[in-house]
Amino acid sequence: MNVNEQIKQIAQRITYLRDALDMTAEDVAKTINIPLDEYLEYENGETDIPISVIYSTAAALGVDPTELMLGEAPRMAEYCVTRKNAGVMIERYPGYSFEALAHNFIGRDKEPMIVTLSSSDKKSALVSHSGQEFNYVLEGKIGVTLGHQTFILSAGDSIYFLPTIPHGQFAIDGTAKFLTIIDKENG
């Protein structure tokens, strides 16, 4: 798998922080509840790191996910204004990118993002994480797989669900954008 430079940088930050905290890879893998070999693939920058793993790894290391994604800590404690197209852009893999909208707010318990999907023959692997999740389609049409069901949503449609159920989104007929808000604290 071709891993982009952003993912490699995130992997390097994880390794640096883990070493600085005098934790072993085994400690982190156990804390975030994934097999050691899978964790090492992420930490070594060999494969894409799912956003849920970034969040759980950040929690295990005692930092905000922004520190892993950008290498710097959030700075705003009372509010965070993000201008149009000025959020932190992360390309997870070709056809899937997101813009973090509140990355600079300290201690946030929600993670609002604009996700951009392009149609692809290959659907991404389903993921699961704690909390609650809300998706609102801004443009185009997406499919949301939730367990064994798939829902087709168009602009203006939304879905609210428990992300402990394996799930994933994909674009239908071109490019689509949706707002997602992940509640990181419930679960």
pLDDT for 2 beyond 80:
no
Query: Is residue 75 assigned to a domain?
Result: no
CB 179 within 8 A of CB 114: yes
> Quick one: pLDDT at residue 187?
41
Are residues 95 and 140 both part of a single domain? yes
Task: Give residue-wise pLDDT tens across range 22-69.
Answer: 999 999 999 999 999 999 999 998 888 887 788 889 989 999 888 998
Q: 3-state DSSP call for residue 51?
A: helix
Q: 3-state DSSP call for residue 49?
A: coil
Determine the structural domain holding residue 93 and report its residue range: 88-183
Query: Is residue 114 assigned to a domain?
Result: yes
Q: Where are the beta strands (DSSP E) in the chain?
A: 88-93, 96-100, 110-117, 132-146, 149-154, 158-161, 167-183
Query: Is residue 36 assigned to a domain?
Result: yes
How many domains does one find in the chain?
Answer: 2
Query: Is residue 81 assigned to a domain?
Result: no
C-alpha distances in angstroms, 5 versus 47, 63, 92? Answer: 11, 21, 10
> Quick one: pLDDT at residue 84?
92
Last residue of a domain, one of 70, 101, 118: 70
What is the CATH classification number for the domain harbouring 170? Answer: 2.60.120.10
Are residues 100 and 171 both part of a single domain? yes
Last residue of a domain, one of 36, 70, 104: 70
Query: Is residue 80 assigned to a domain?
Result: no
What is the CATH classification number for the domain harbouring 20? Answer: 1.10.260.40
Contacts of 30 (CB under 8 A, 6+ apart): none
Are residues 66 and 98 both part of a single domain? no
Are residues 28 and 109 both part of a single domain? no
Are residues 124 and 164 both part of a single domain? yes
Task: Give residue-wise pLDDT tens across range 109-129.
Answer: 899 999 999 987 667 778 888
Query: Is residue 155 assigned to a domain?
Result: yes
Are residues 51 and 113 both part of a single domain? no
Are residues 93 and 53 both part of a single domain? no
Query: Is residue 135 assigned to a domain?
Result: yes
pTM over 0.85: no
